[in-house]
Structure 1
Amino acid sequence: MTTTTRLAKRSAAILLALGLGSPLLVSAETLRFSGNFPDDHSSSRAMEIFRDTLAERTDGDLSAQLFPNMQLGGASENVDQVSSGSIAGTWVGIAFLSRTVPELEALSLPFAFADREDAFALIDGDFGELLDEKLAEKGFVALGYMELGFRHVTNNERPIETIEDLNGLRIRLQPNQTHLDTFRAIGASPISMDISEVYGALQQGVLDGQENPYSIISTRRLDEVQGHLSDTGHFYDFIVVVANRNTFNRLSEEKQQVVREAMAEAVAWQRQTAAEEDEAARATLIERGMQFTPISDETRAALREASQGVVEQLRDRIGNEVVDQVLEELTS
């Protein structure tokens, strides 16, 4: 039995157990959304705001049912479930859609964003509209982009003080080719793995480390199985909320508008909250016992220089036009 077959059977079993096995996504005007983020992550809390706002503005005529914290499987399974039409939507890190829409990788250029304001200016502008079109071509409707945040390396071997300290470290990454290429370029040994497997792999020593925003490291309690924390900030990452296009289009125009408005409010709240919680999460990790080693300007420059060839590799995969649009918008 192939891995794909096993995942498909697992997803089907979960959905049948929950009474969600029908391919019809809107049953009695209920939209079902799955997520792999913990209940206390800002994105899951934002989805609760979306759910409550939707019910309030439609007097309960349209509701959302939420399944956070991998209740319906990991991120890859959630994307497959939305694509097949077995659930209405998911909120997920963009890396898990990058193999379906390669243009999303242009958001993953290493060390490209100076701050979150640059990141949101890009995703809320013309480039974001291009990504929405590409997602629609693959059967998804993009409802909004939340902050996942700057990603940072943790490991159990040593503090990261120089680029050489990354040599050979088995680091878990998301299934994003640009992410994987970047870590190969800086000397690590990247391993693509769903987040549902990471804690156990770290605990068992299958991995030396991983990389994630502070909020994810904290809410997933990865400090329990990791000793060293750095502020590499190598990528800025987004959470995209996507719906099955056919499901969304079956809603009336009025209800589609309410869904978009409710999601816009939830996304705005999440972005502000995520920014406020970012440094607090780092402080929490240090309080719990992680050794924090800030990256020096010299080491950051060395990491940036070593990873610049990744940009050319990305050009080969998705074309110069897309990459140039991102670089131009970031420098304008």
Structure 2
Amino acid sequence: MKKVLFGTTLGVKALATTAAAVLVAMSVSSGAWAATTLRFAHPTPQSDLQHKLAEKFKEEVEKASNGDLKVQIFPNGQLGNDAQMIDGARSGIIDITLSGLTNFTGMVPEAGAFELPFMFADSSAAYKALDGASGEEVMSKLPALGLKGLAFPENGFREITNNRGPIREPADLKGLRMRVNNSITLNNMFELLGANPQQLPVAELYTALETGVVDAQEHPLGIVVSFNFNEVQKYLSITNHAYSALLMVMNQKRFDSLTPEQQQIVEKAAADATAMQRKMNTEQTETMITTLEDEGMEVNRDVDTAAFQKAIQPVWKTFIDQNGDEMIKAIQAVSEGESQS
């Protein structure tokens, strides 16, 4: 299967499209675009916790700066897909964006270690790694890319939905046309387990599921709820097969242009908004499952995790062969070795 991994570069045409979108938005209310207005773009609907994070960030920044800094939020992919928004942040067309960590692995390959299947036993183990030296190592690579890393919010653990039946063991994936993101490790995992992984932007996924272009998808619960995938998917299996972090970044030159006090305000607001979003995600997990059940999904928690962990060992080996195991060992050391390769 030919794999086309997006999230690394953006063509001139796409950049022009993104720039045009920003200029149209700016022209709507030119008076609102003072020099201290920060343009914050993210990919999810306003009902998603990623948008709640953006709103919290905006509230704190504007309050702490006494209005000297303003934040304009562009939700729901208004300024492009993930790759376009990241490149927009690198170029300065966008000031701040929020995207899956996997969308940065084309530029920082070792960051893919965080998304290796079954790396983390729970969210607290992931937080220890992301908020510690391992996360700082990833952040240290960003300035050379024109970006300032602000925080690691979360998407959460990834689960599988499909229209064929519950996913209890690796063999249940065979033959499924599975929508995947651009994570090399997850592509490799599903291909190894006999599925047919296909990359599609999340904005196109509902229609692809509805029309049968793909049979299945894997996302954290919040995305399943926010994008209403339950309307076009029958079965939800709580596989927790990978933890998905988000990465909140800012254009480095834009950050450097702020006063030291304003920089501290931005960093604190990002940290506070991330803490709030993580807490809300944890608190709402069971509620989201219940909601999906009430709306007709059949939920399966009977998953043979040990069988999956054994089956995906070649995926870990491939990653180590390509990127070494230094990051893996560092992550495991701070997350108390809750996953083994």
Q: Same fold (TM over 0.5)?
A: yes
In the other structure, the counterpart of 1:290 is 297
Q: Find the aligned partners of 1:287 and 1:74 in 2 and give their Cα distance.
A: 31
In the other structure, the counterpart of 1:23 is none
In the other structure, the counterpart of 2:288 is 281
Deviation of 1:36 (Å): 0.3
Q: Find the aligned partners of 2:259 and 2:74 in 1 and give their Cα distance.
A: 24
Q: Find the aligned partners of 2:246 and 2:127 in 1 and give their Cα distance.
A: 12
Q: Find the aligned partners of 1:87 and 1:248 in 2 and give their Cα distance.
A: 12
> Of 16, 40, 62, which residue of structure 2 is paired with 1:55?
62
- Contact conserved, 2:125 with 2:336, CA < 8 A, in 1? no
Deviation of 1:303 (Å): 1.0
- Contact conserved, 1:37 with 1:70, CA < 8 A, in 2? yes
Of 177-186 and 113-122, the range deviating more from structure 2: 177-186
> Counterparts of 1:144-155 in structure 2 under 5 Å?
144-155=151-162
In the other structure, the counterpart of 2:7 is none
Q: Find the aligned partners of 2:216 and 2:146 in 1 and give their Cα distance.
A: 35
In the other structure, the counterpart of 2:324 is 319
- After superposition, give the CA deviation of every residue in 1:224-273 in whole Å (9 maximum; x if it has no partner): 11111100100011111101111111111111011111111111111111
Q: Find the aligned partners of 1:294 and 1:284 in 2 and give their Cα distance.
A: 15
> Of 292, 300, 307, which residue of structure 1 is paired with 2:305?
300
The structure-2 alpha-carbon separation of the partners of 1:176 and 1:27, relative to structure 1 and needing over 3 Å to count, comes to farther
Q: CA RMSD in A?
A: 1.6
Structure 2 unpaired stretches of 5+: 1-9, 28-32
Deviation of 1:151 (Å): 0.4
> Of 223, 228, 242, which residue of structure 1 is paired with 2:235?
228
Deviation of 1:96 (Å): 1.2
In the other structure, the counterpart of 1:81 is 88
User: Within the alignment, does 1:91 sit opposite 2:122 as a pair?
Assistant: no
- After superposition, give the CA deviation of every residue in 1:33-83 in whole Å (9 maximum; x if it has no partner): 100011111121121111011111111001111111111122121111111
Q: Find the aligned partners of 2:307 and 2:191 in 1 and give their Cα distance.
A: 14
Q: Find the aligned partners of 2:41 and 2:258 in 1 and give their Cα distance.
A: 19
> Of 34, 38, 41, which residue of structure 2 is paired with 1:31?
38
Q: Give the letter aligned to residue 96 of structure 1.
A: N
Deviation of 1:197 (Å): 1.1
Q: Find the aligned partners of 1:5 and 1:259 in 2 and give their Cα distance.
A: 30
Q: The residue matched to 2:79 in structure 1 has which SS?
A: coil
- Contact conserved, 2:46 with 2:76, CA < 8 A, in 1? yes
Q: The residue matched to 1:143 in structure 2 has which SS?
A: strand
Q: Find the aligned partners of 1:315 and 1:222 in 2 and give their Cα distance.
A: 34
Q: Find the aligned partners of 1:209 and 1:125 in 2 and give their Cα distance.
A: 34
Q: Give the letter aligned to residue 308 of structure 1.
A: Q
Deviation of 1:310 (Å): 1.0
Q: Find the aligned partners of 2:236 and 2:264 in 1 and give their Cα distance.
A: 43
In the other structure, the counterpart of 1:243 is 250
- Contact conserved, 1:76 with 1:194, CA < 8 A, in 2? no
User: Within the alignment, does 1:272 sit opposite 2:279 as a pair?
Assistant: yes
In the other structure, the counterpart of 1:331 is 336
Q: Find the aligned partners of 1:260 and 1:35 in 2 and give their Cα distance.
A: 18
- Contact conserved, 1:99 with 1:176, CA < 8 A, in 2? no
Q: Find the aligned partners of 2:204 and 2:118 in 1 and give their Cα distance.
A: 27
Q: The residue matched to 2:264 in structure 1 has which SS?
A: helix
Q: The residue matched to 2:149 in structure 1 has which SS?
A: strand
- After superposition, give the CA deviation of every residue in 1:272-300 in whole Å (9 maximum; x if it has no partner): 1111111111111111101112233xx22
The 4+ residue runs of structure 1 with deviation greater than 4 A are: none
Deviation of 1:9 (Å): 3.7
Q: Find the aligned partners of 2:70 and 2:258 in 1 and give their Cα distance.
A: 12
Structure 1 unpaired stretches of 5+: 21-25
Q: Find the aligned partners of 1:10 and 1:29 in 2 and give their Cα distance.
A: 24
Q: Find the aligned partners of 1:260 and 1:5 in 2 and give their Cα distance.
A: 31
